[in-house]
Structure 1
């Protein structure tokens, strides 16, 4: 009898382990992955402060690749056309708990800085039901557009290697007025942290 039950127990154990592993992966993917540490290699020149926000000295910055496509509302948007302004690129998904936590801060700062040389653009990823993403924007009063990137192609190919990862959501990248990557965070941000990434770039000549 014990021999006949053993395979079933083994199967149950394997299923349980598989479910726990999947849950852990989901939490790490949504929670920010490497907690703000630089990852993925590549020549990004990031220097990370104790708060998990990485910056790049002005003379060492590089431009992203093409970041363009259709917004959630179906309009065309090319980030290259925003050169001359500080651009905040926020990677988010409606399924992501930390994204919901930071959304009110992004909405507030975006509204406060409207008309002051700053543009916000969301990069919505892994929301295969677009309506859920649109509902998220409506619920949190997000005043800026988001490029719809369900497969994560903009994250994988739009930035130099080592800048972003699909395992680190939410993430935020800030471009300087020349369109180059100046700051990055791989965690959920509050109002103060977000402003600390933007305001120094507004003062640059």
Structure 2
């Protein structure tokens, strides 16, 4: 009986170890023979909001893909603009709830060289298009495999909804790992828009 308990305990510990290792592979650098570089230390913010001052902002990734309407997209086309990248899915209730706030900030700031981009993850294209229609006037990448989030390897948006704010130099200035509201998002976006290019 004691041996069975020991086997059971070892199996549980092995499962926990595998789960932890899987998390490292998913959100790590993918290089198993090197120590991953630690992410830049944020200036302020709890887990659900991380922000960086200009001298500590990590570089944003290159990001390409296909939009929900089938057109090709390259994030480099937004060079020189403040970029707001929102990760969402049609089945995610907080994602649906924040669309009005995101669209309001988009409408209020786009004349200031601010661009919004959605990234639709783990979703069905028809359901994603149906949600986007009438709610979002900005484009969304279709990323059912969730690869785009892995490109932000130093500051992973490893939950949805998540919203990444990038400055005009393409660096990550802030990351929300929660539903965003206009009252908290718009001041940050306007602050980035006010920074010199």
User: TM-score under structure 2 normalisation?
Assistant: 0.76
Residue 183 of structure 1 is aligned with which of 170, 174, 179? Answer: 174
Mapping for residues 55-74 of structure 1, pairs under 5 Å: 55-74=51-70
Q: Could you say which structure has the greater relative contact order, defined with CA pairs below 8 angstroms and 6 or more residues apart?
A: 1
> Deviations for 1:45-85, whole angstroms, at most 9, x for unmatched residues?
22343694221110111222221111000111111221111
Aligned match of 2:102: 106
Contact 1:64/1:160, CA 8 A, preserved across alignment: no
> Deviations for 1:105-131, whole angstroms, at most 9, x for unmatched residues?
11111112222210000010010x201
Contact 2:42/2:56, CA 8 A, preserved across alignment: no
Aligned match of 1:115: 111
Distance 2:49 2:187 in 1: 9
Aligned match of 2:7: none
Aligned match of 2:127: 132
Q: After TM superposition, where is structure 1 displaced by more than 6 Å over at least 4 residues in a row?
A: none
Query: What is the Cα-based RMSD across aligned positions, in Å?
Result: 1.9
Matched, 1:160 2:153: yes
Distance 2:194 2:42 in 1: 20
- Pick which of 110-119 and 94-103 moved more: 110-119
Residue 196 of structure 1 is aligned with which of 166, 182, 187? Answer: 187
Aligned match of 2:87: 91
Distance 1:42 1:136 in 2: 37
Contact 1:44/1:163, CA 8 A, preserved across alignment: no
C-alpha deviation, 1:194, in angstroms: 1.1
> What stretches of structure 2 of length at least 5 have no aligned partner?
1-36
> What stretches of structure 1 of length at least 5 have no aligned partner?
1-40
Contact 2:109/2:190, CA 8 A, preserved across alignment: no
User: What is the aligned length?
Assistant: 161
